[in-house]
Structure 1
Amino acid sequence: MEFITKPLPANKRVALVAHDHRKSAMIQWCSRHRTSLQKHYLLATGTTGGKIEAATGLKVEKLLSGPLGGDQQLGARISEGKVDFLVFFWDPFEPMPHDPDVKALLRIAAVWNIPVACNSSSADMMVQSALMERSFGREVPDYQCYLKQR
């Protein structure tokens, strides 16, 4: 696979996902970083987005609930270049019936080289990084080259 450099914009599209037992941690995190997050476009799986919006007043585009297809919607947006940063508070202590969806979402985020935070410590570091407020380049698969080679 060939790669090209594409920029992540200064105003990020931030996807927020949290499993049931991690939703309160996500809400607390969003509340702590409200000032920073309101500068960016937020989207989330349905239940998580609704709870964040209600608790923080942040505007959040709500997709379907994760188990009903919201994880796949986010994955599609990542593939289309419409998500720049994924904050995914997954629960390492609970078995999940939609575990394949979780793995697929993390895989597609890795393929398209977007920053992923899976807990509040990594999310804190990323949202407070100087790169959060400015554009920077990242390597992504060169899909057009891939199509030509096929």
Structure 2
Amino acid sequence: MNIALIAHDKKKNDLVQFVTAYQTIFAKHTLFATGTTGLRINEATGLELTRFKSGPLGGDQEIGAMIAKNKMDAVFFFRDPLTAQPHEPDVTALVRLCDVYSIPLATNMGSAELLIRGLDQGLLEWRNVMKNGESNGK
């Protein structure tokens, strides 16, 4: 499965710790991340991932484009709700795309815990059915 990893500045440490704790599960999937978040995760875990630009420079939109093309299966986006973000419209657009395309989205440690455990138990296999149906012209 293709998984996006994104975190606002004040939440980067939390996401790095989360990915480190569940490194064996994340290692079974294809990972994508925005700039600094991806670098920090790679340095902490050694996991291979594709890094996009930082969120404010278009990384959120790059991940959004993958969602719109049905090429993203889950998003872990640790948001900071207490700090204004200069690229808030991009953040809102990304969350909206997850809703439009029914992409599971975890925005905090609590929902991330449920999503990663569901992923590990195979509860997101319906994503493979959706992708295969699309590639067969359905």
Which category of TM-score, normalised to the shorter sequence, fits these structures? 0.7 to 0.9
Pairwise CA distance, 1:117: 0.3
Unaligned runs of 5+ in 1: 1-11, 144-150
Asked which structure has the greater CA Rg, the reply is: 1
- Match for residue 40 of structure 1 among 29, 50, 60: 29
1:110 partner letter: D
Higher RCO (Cα < 8 Å, 6 or more apart): 1
Residue deviations 1:40-81 (CA, integer Å, cap 9, x gap) = 000001111011000111111000110000011000000011
Structure 2 counterpart of 1:136: 126
Pairwise CA distance, 1:135: 1.6
- Match for residue 56 of structure 1 among 45, 53, 59: 45
Structure 2 counterpart of 1:20: 9
Pairwise CA distance, 1:131: 3.0
1:117 partner letter: A
- Aligned residue for 1:131, secondary structure, equals coil
What is the CA–CA distance in structure 2 between the aligned matches of 1:92 and 1:79, rounded to whole Å? 25
Whose strand proportion is higher, 1 or 2? 1
Unaligned runs of 5+ in 2: none
1:98 partner letter: H
What is the CA–CA distance in structure 1 between the aligned matches of 2:125 and 2:117, rounded to whole Å? 14
- Match for residue 19 of structure 2 among 6, 30, 48: 30
% of aligned pairs identical? 42
The structure 1 segments of at least 4 consecutive aligned residues displaced by more than 3 Å after TM superposition are: none
2:45 partner letter: T
How many matched pairs? 129
2:94 partner letter: L
What is the CA–CA distance in structure 2 between the aligned matches of 1:124 and 1:57, rounded to whole Å? 21
| TM-score, length basis structure 2 | 0.88
| TM-score, length basis structure 1 | 0.81
What is the CA–CA distance in structure 2 between the aligned matches of 1:125 and 1:113, rounded to whole Å? 16
